[in-house]
Amino acid sequence: MDDYPLLDLFLTMLFFFLWVMWLFLLFRVVMDIFRDGDLSGWGKAGWLIFCIVLPYIGVLVYVIARGRGMGQRDVKQARDAEAAFKDYIRKTAAEDETTTGSGTASGGTGDLARLAELHDSGKLTDEEFAQAKTKLLT
């Protein structure tokens, strides 16, 4: 244990942690380069070569020059994914209703029962359930 003092162990762990953080940032930058629809093919190739040839400087310059856009693209991707998920739920609920019918009970009672089934199965959110229920009751 005397061969490797505590300070050397701490520095080794610090450098390892910084290296892992830099690798994470490098992969983030490379993914962002390919995800950016505003960059041309030559622009993507240029940034990629810059990040490969001069990795530390390239990543640092990319984050300084295009860091704000990285955040905006992340937010846009999250919103698009959420919208696609909600659209999928609506389509699935609509398909489910057309294949099984809207219920044979008297008028709105069958529709309310069907809405409750869709809500309980998770195909409708609380907001969608409340809106549909309001429509049926008015």
104-133 pLDDT per residue, tens: 444 566 777 888 888 888 888 888 888 888
- Number of domains making up the chain: 2
Tokens representing residue 101 in the block? 């019918």
The CA-CA-CA angle for residues 56, 62, 68, to 5°, reads: 135
Let me know whether 91 and 109 are in one domain.
no
Mean pLDDT for the stretch of residues 46-73 = 91
Mean pLDDT for the stretch of residues 17-28 = 93
Mean pLDDT for the stretch of residues 62-87 = 90
Does a structural domain hold residue 1?
Answer: no
Let me know whether 29 and 62 are in one domain.
yes
pTM over 0.75: no
Query: Which range marks the domain in which residue 112 is found?
Result: 105-138
Tokens representing residue 88 in the block? 């999928």
**Predicted local distance difference test score (pLDDT) of residue 89:** 84
User: Burial level of 14, CB count in 10 A (0-12/13-18/19+)?
Assistant: exposed
